[in-house]
Copies of this chain bind each other. A is one copy, B any other.
Amino acid sequence: MTAPSPQPRKPLPDGFIDQLRAIIGDRATLGEAIRSQHGQSETHFDPVLPDVVVFAHSTGEVVELVRLCIVAEVPIIPYGAGTSIEGNALPVHGGVTVDLSQMDAILAVHQEDFDCTVQAGVRREQLNEYLRDQGLFFPIDPGANATIGGMASTRASGTNAVRYGTMREAILSLRVVTPDGRDIRTARRARKSAAGYDLTRLMIGSEGTLGIITEITLRLHAIPEAISAAVCSFGTLQGAVDTVVQSIQIGVPLARVELLDDHQMRAVNRWSKLDYPELTTLFFEFHGSQSYVEEQVRTVEGIAALNGGGEFRWSNLPEERSKLWKARHEAYYAAVNMRPGAVGWVTDVCVPISRLAECITQTRADLDKVSLPATILGHVGDGNFHVIFSMDLNSAQELAEVEALNHRLVDRALAMDGTCTGEHGIGLGKQDCLIDELGDAVETMRLIKRALDPKNLFNPGKIFAV
């Protein structure tokens, strides 16, 4: 199945919509089109429509909405750009979807402190455009032009995480509306703190089940003096992975290192009209001073040559680099579109880097046996990779194949002491996997959920059954 079994869904209480309108006016929408849009996912999950969609404009409004939903016992689901992968924002129990995309103000940039505070609906590309003139950037880059609130909620990471960390490291503080209707700030703007429980990190990755994030204070970085990007093909998967592992071991601070397998390179070439060799390929980026970047490059070129790597194809001008990374970011669409009419089904795991080559090799062997196209690509510096299936959602056989393969992949990652998801989250799709991964620890998560959201109204049905 592509969605969990039908969930209990209560009708909205009488007068609820009027009360909602009293808070938010005509920014409460019952129209089919908007509800449909908020009931879709980017991937294979069946649509599930919310009862109503509201467009919040302030934390104060979110507080009022939450208080109304608590009293009325109506589910409430935060929504950003809708780019999540595991059905994380689907309103499976109905209720109110709170769309935060219009809360898109950049509230403050503290250049000297390398931080900024934004509303949850700000998108990462918008933020980086705004920051550019100040010589700063926000490094977390999951590919999609997601909202910062959504990225916080799913603990997103992406191509730069190997150097700059994930949303876990990128966030200094959150403003959150809690399931008891309080407006809290989880931390101050200091770089570090030992003051009490780390509510910031607890909220990051909680997928809207413990509160609605309305503002985020982010760490920023100086745009490096020099940036160089390159592509290098390898005769073997092992050679590519060994190049990454050895580069990290020797202390090269790779800013990005992405692996695309031969199938994915074929898709990229076709989709982005490029002519790379259709072999296992690494996309690199190096950041630093001019001389330090040159040193990094020399080191990695040497390591790649010893591991069967080909020539480095350089993209040093900003527009060339953009083209390269645009091709990488569109890899998902490239893969799915190899097959006309197909729908994407994407999964991700993350393993200790010493097991990565083995994990990818075994997975590729599995993929070569299924009846539908599938590609592998990943953030190999983190040990994290994705499998993208291009599937016919109407084919029960393909669905069975994909599900079986996904389970084999997760089991393999867990057997290597890895995780069932490096960056997509649990959402609807990986609840069994979470239990396989963390066992009894999930009971501790449930205790927290029940304590903070005793009526189970905040994005119910996600991460685990309460």
Q: Choose among B184, B188, B205 the residue that contacts A198 (Cβ–Cβ < 8 A).
A: B205
The interface bits of chain A over 175-213 (1 if a CB of B lies within 8 angstroms of the residue's CB, else 0) are 000100011111111111111111101101110001000
Chosen A-B contacts, 21 in total, with CB atoms closer than 8 Å, are A113-B354, A114-B249, A155-B194, A155-B198, A168-B201, A169-B169, A182-B444, A184-B439, A184-B440, A188-B417, A188-B437, A191-B383, A192-B382, A192-B422, A192-B423, A194-B424, A196-B434, A196-B464, A199-B445, A222-B251, A448-B448
Interface: A341 (CB within 8 A): no
Indicate which residue in B204, B291, B447 contacts A291 across the interface (CB closer than 8 Å): B291
Question: Closest 7 A-B residue pairs measured CB to CB?
Answer: A451-B451, A201-B201, A193-B419, A112-B354, A190-B350, A184-B441, A189-B417
Contact in complex: B438, A185 (CB < 8 Å): yes
Within 8 Å CB of A195, what residues of B? 419-421, 425-426, 430, 433-434, 437-438
User: Is residue A119 contacting chain B, with contact meaning CB distance below 8 A?
Assistant: no
A284-299 residues with Cβ-Cβ distance < 8 A to B are 288-289, 291-292, 295
Contacts of A289 in B (CB 8 A): 251, 295
Q: Are A354 and B437 in contact (CB under 8 A)?
A: no
Contact residues in B for A419 (Cβ distance below 8 Å):
187-188, 190, 192-195
Residues in B whose Cβ lies below 8 Å from that of A448? 197, 202, 448, 451-452
- Provide the bound-state CA to CA distance between A169 and B182, in Å: 29
Give A172's nearest chain B residue, CB to CB.
B352
The listed residue (B112, B157, B190, B292) touching A192 by CB distance below 8 A is B157
Residues of B within 8 A of A144 (CB): none
Question: Closest chain B residue to A352 by CB distance?
Answer: B113
**Chain B CB within 8 A of A273 CB:** no
Q: Oligomeric state, in number of copies?
A: 2
Residue A121 CB within 8 A of the other chain? no
* Cα–Cα distance between A439 and B182 once the two chains are bound (Å): 11
Query: Which residue from B166, B199, B423 sits with its C-beta under 8 Å from A441?
Result: B199
Q: A423, B194: Cβ atoms under 8 Å?
A: yes
Alpha-carbon distance A161/B113, docked complex (angstroms): 16
Least distance between A209 CB and chain B CB atoms (Å): 8
Seen from chain A, the residues whose Cβ lies within 8 Å of a Cβ on chain B are 110, 112-115, 154-157, 161, 165-166, 168-169, 178, 182-199, 201-202, 204-206, 210, 222, 224-225, 245, 248-251, 288-289, 291-292, 295, 350-354, 382-384, 413-414, 417-426, 430, 433-434, 437-445, 447-452, 463-464
Does A110 contact B352, Cβ atoms closer than 8 Å? yes
Distance from A185 Cβ to chain B, minimum over Cβ atoms (Å): 6
For the complex, what is the distance from the CA of A222 to the CA of B245, rounded to whole Å?
A: 12
Chain B residues with CB under 8 A of A426: 194-196
Collect the chain B residues with CB atoms within 8 Å of residue A169's CB: 165, 169
Q: Are A168 and B192 in contact (CB under 8 A)?
A: yes
A165 to chain B, nearest CB (A): 7
Does A192 lie within 8 Å of B205, measured CB to CB? no
Inter-chain CA distance A194–B154, complex, in Å, is 7
Contact B250 A187 (CB under 8 A): no
Complex contacts, A464 vs chain B, CB 8 Å: 196
A115 in contact with B352 given A169-B169, A417-B188 (CB within 8 Å): yes
A197 touches B192 (CB 8 A): no
Distance of A440 Cα from B110 Cα, bound (Å): 25
Distance from A49 Cβ to chain B, minimum over Cβ atoms (Å): 26
Tell me the complex Cα distance, A183–B182, Å. 33
| Interface pair A202/B202, CB less than 8 Å apart | yes
Check B440–A196 contact: CB distance below 8 A.
Answer: no
Asked if A194 contacts B205 (CB within 8 A), the reply is yes
Give Cα A309 to B120, complex, Å.
43
Q: Which residues of B contact A184 (CB under 8 A)?
A: 438-441, 444
What residue of chain B has the Cβ atom nearest to residue A191's Cβ? Answer: B382
